[in-house]
Chain A
Amino acid sequence: EVQLVESGGGLVKPGGSLRLSCAASGFTFTNAWMSWVRQAPGKGLEWVGRITSKTDGGTTEYPAPVKGRFSISRDDSKNTLYLQMNSLKTEDTAVYYCTRDNYGGSQHWGQGTLVTVSS
């Protein structure tokens, strides 16, 4: 069974940094393309970035709202995905989901971790 467990969320001040982790199991993590998707309170879903497998180059892509501030990385030896978030803004407040991608979309989702950016 595929399991994705996010951790690392919490309260951070504007301008601060936070690193989220996603522990993966139940599939071959090394071969997986992974994404982070967020959901602000009471709002819709927003993709915040993706990393391909190392076999496919280990490349990362980000949408404009987070490009230059967020960075995705992976440690295949630990089956773990990371999201480093810098220069956080109040509008980054959201539940952050780790997803395993397949067939051009997020097939499996974690339970999410809440990030609150507030002074």
Chain B
Amino acid sequence: SQQGEEDPQALSIQEGENATMNCSYKTSINNLQWYRQNSGRGLVHLILIRSNEREKHSGRLRVTLDTSKKSSSLLITASRAADTASYFCATDKAGTYKYIFGTGTRLKVLA
């Protein structure tokens, strides 16, 4: 079973708008990561947030983590056509070395 579930499954926005996608997970974690996948390619690591952190920024990316709700959100500000991709969250089950991925959010940014 999937540890993480992204929401929405698909998102379509205009260039310049912000994109928000969410990830929910089931068990206690050490950290949560977000990845991007362009069509047919390997995943690229975007950002990692540890369980004792609440918010993290990297360029146009902002990630929040709410461990009480077992959820995280990824915000991409001022989106560009090049941001069109699938975005995945990955969580490790606390006490293990297993990283489990969610099913992803497909983002389409229209020029």
Whether chains A and B associate is: no
